Amino acid sequence: MAEIDIMRVLITDDMLSQYLLPIVNTNLAAAQKKSRSMFRYQHAIDGETWWRWFAKYLLKNQRKTGKAAQQENKMKLLRKGLMGRHRFNAISQAHYLGDAQLETLFSVIRERLASLLEFGAMTAVDEAVYAYYGDDMREDAVDIKIEGKPHPYGLLNYLASQSLEHSGVSVVVDFEPRLPSHKPTARNALISLAHRISRRTNGHVHFFCDSALAGIRFLRIFERMGAYLSVSLNTSATSGIQELYPVGISDLPIGCTRTLQKRQHIIQFTQRGDCPMVIASNAWDFEGDRRALRQPHLSYATAVSLLEHDEVDAIIEVFNLPENVDPGDIGEVILAASGQDITMPPPNAEGKVILSLKVTLASFFVKHQEATETI
């Protein structure tokens, strides 16, 4: 299905006539009074004219991205046949909506999306930056630059996307844009999206995002919302699990995964070579006998390192020990609880996985986070 066909399904004739065309035609009429030279290009438009304008907009965008470079002569004729340059520019300039008008239109689009899609449980949230260089963006202080994006500088929108069940195509199910009168932080945008999507979904919703949008404390916030969250933490965003980080990555071979538990939450480390991937989640629990699996294994070298550097809190957290345990008794307490003597090298310590899950969070996270990368 082409982009124009998707928009034809999303934007109904009633939406156009009620929420968009009156604003565009008001702006065209105002422009007619200011410019005699452009007067004949600024008369009112109807729904069919708007769709011709939008089709040319899409074609011009394809030209900028180079997607149709091999058919440029054909595309040029098609663009010209849809609408002349001056008429196109006049209508483009008339697409000026105030914040209140935009909010109304966005609410209508959200309701339309909810009527077209049956929301699933897996939702990826990420930032999207739209290329724009107008001075009004800087005057309204809504411009942003995020390195690594296809268009690093422009207007910001937070997108929530899901994959369609049969085709696997990623579709946007909700959005939270940054406007002059509404500039949500990344974390506030995530919470707003989560609240709206959860209200429209039966059962628990599982959200995926990176540390730009959430930290580990958000796991509890989402629990109170009745939602699941898995967040990818970079090495500078491990606040709340600093004591587990050296345990998670110590002696971990490339490609291997180590899973720890912090209170009710899963913290999983995957060694990728360049840097570890750390996933924190409230969506999974341990398999099998919970009590037995809550007693992890440390390599002898890691245990010695932690004890030498007085990292007693880390060992207490990893082994789920009482906080008032005497540091001198830690070895005996762990031996009694798990059968592991951390004061002696275990027979096969190298590359040992601490805990096992039915799912490797890193691969699961990457699969669903990719949904937003194609938007």
Closest CA to 252 of 350, 154, 324: 350
Under the banding of pLDDT at 50, 70 and 90, the label for residue 131 is: confident
The share of the chain scoring above pLDDT 90, in percent, equals: 27
Residue 135's pLDDT is: 86
How deeply is 207 buried, as exposed, middle or buried, from its count of CB atoms within 10 A (0-12, 13-18, 19+)? buried
Q: What is the pTM of this model?
A: 0.71
Give the whole-angstrom CA distance, residue 302 versus residue 295.
16
Structural domain boundaries of the chain?
3-96, 245-359
Beta-ladder partners of 199: none
How deeply is 333 buried, as exposed, middle or buried, from its count of CB atoms within 10 A (0-12, 13-18, 19+)? middle
Which range has the worst mean pLDDT, 186-200, 273-287, 306-320?
306-320
CB within 8 A of 170, min separation 6: which ones?
124, 161, 162, 163, 164, 370, 371, 372, 374, 375
Residue corresponding to tokens 């390192």: 305
Eight-state DSSP code of residue 147: T
**pLDDT 10s digits, 9-62:** 889 999 999 999 999 999 999 999 887 778 888 999 999 999 999 988 888 877
Which range has the worst mean pLDDT, 59-68, 78-87, 222-231?
59-68
Residue corresponding to tokens 């009112």: 44
Give the whole-angstrom CA distance, residue 278 versus residue 80.
52
Residue 339's pLDDT is: 56
Residue 8's pLDDT is: 86
Angle between helix 47-65 and 85-93 (nearest 10):
100
**pLDDT 10s digits, 266-290:** 888 888 777 788 888 888 765 533 3
Pair 118, 93: CB distance under 8 Å = no
Closest CA to 208 of 364, 360, 374, 358: 364
Residue 347's pLDDT is: 44
Is the per-residue pLDDT at 190 higher than 90? yes
Closest CA to 372 of 74, 146, 116, 98: 146
Residue corresponding to tokens 């091999």: 70
User: Sign of the CA dihedral 245, 248, 254, 257?
Assistant: negative
Residue 160's pLDDT is: 94
Eight-state DSSP code of residue 19: I
User: Sign of the CA dihedral 165, 124, 279, 366?
Assistant: positive
User: Sign of the CA dihedral 136, 138, 141, 146?
Assistant: positive
Average of pLDDT values for 65-73? 58
Amino acid letter for position 252: L
Q: How far is CA 284 from the centre of its chain?
A: 20
Under the banding of pLDDT at 50, 70 and 90, the label for residue 77 is: low
Give the whole-angstrom CA distance, residue 113 versus residue 103.
15
Closest CA to 133 of 151, 146, 148, 150: 151
Residue 223's pLDDT is: 87
The three-class DSSP label of residue 162 is strand
Under the banding of pLDDT at 50, 70 and 90, the label for residue 295 is: very low
Give the whole-angstrom CA distance, residue 18 versus residue 275.
52
DSSP H/E element including 238: none
**Comparison of pLDDT for 299 and 91, the residue scoring more:** 91
Under the banding of pLDDT at 50, 70 and 90, the label for residue 342 is: low
Provide φ and ψ at 289, rounded to 5°: -75, 105
Measured distance between the N- and C-terminal CA atoms of the chain, rounded to whole angstroms: 15
Residue corresponding to tokens 């939702």: 123
Closest CA to 182 of 94, 256, 99, 306: 99
Residue 349's pLDDT is: 36
Average of pLDDT values for 220-240? 81
Residue 163's pLDDT is: 85
